Amino acid sequence: MVVLETMILGKPILCSTGAGASELVKDGHNVYRFAPEDPVTLAQHMQHFIENPEIIPDMGQQSQEIMKAYTPTKSGEFLAQITECVLNDLPSQGY
């Protein structure tokens, strides 16, 4: 959830490759990924932000753009579609 909340707030991301939300981030656009067992790469990414603060607003904007596709309305529509597919695939039992 932290990755998604950070994206909604328009921040760049440092994300473990093992994180569940890692498929929502785009390397070099709004995220720098690192392997959980690789603290050196994580430190390098952190240093890159410190040395290049001008990239932070643009990467944060990319995060917000990605999250625009995940509104409550769109999520509800998606769940309704899934429910309809499941119900249509059930054998008829007089329901």
Domain boundaries, the chain: 2-69
Higher-confidence residue of 88 and 89: namely 88
Predicted local confidence at residue 22, as pLDDT: 67
Total Cβ atoms within 10 A of residue 4: 17
Higher-confidence residue of 1 and 77: namely 77
The answer, yes or no, to whether residue 48 has pLDDT greater than 90, is yes
* Mean of the per-residue pLDDT values of the chain: 87
Total Cβ atoms within 10 A of residue 25: 24
End-to-end Cα, the chain, rounded Å:
37
The dihedral sign for the CA sequence 78, 83, 84, 90? positive
The answer, yes or no, to whether residue 29 has pLDDT greater than 80, is yes
Predicted local confidence at residue 36, as pLDDT: 92
- Per the structure block, which two tokens stand in for 6? 């950070």
Where are the extended beta strands (E) located within the chain?
A: 13-16, 31-34
Predicted local confidence at residue 92, as pLDDT: 63
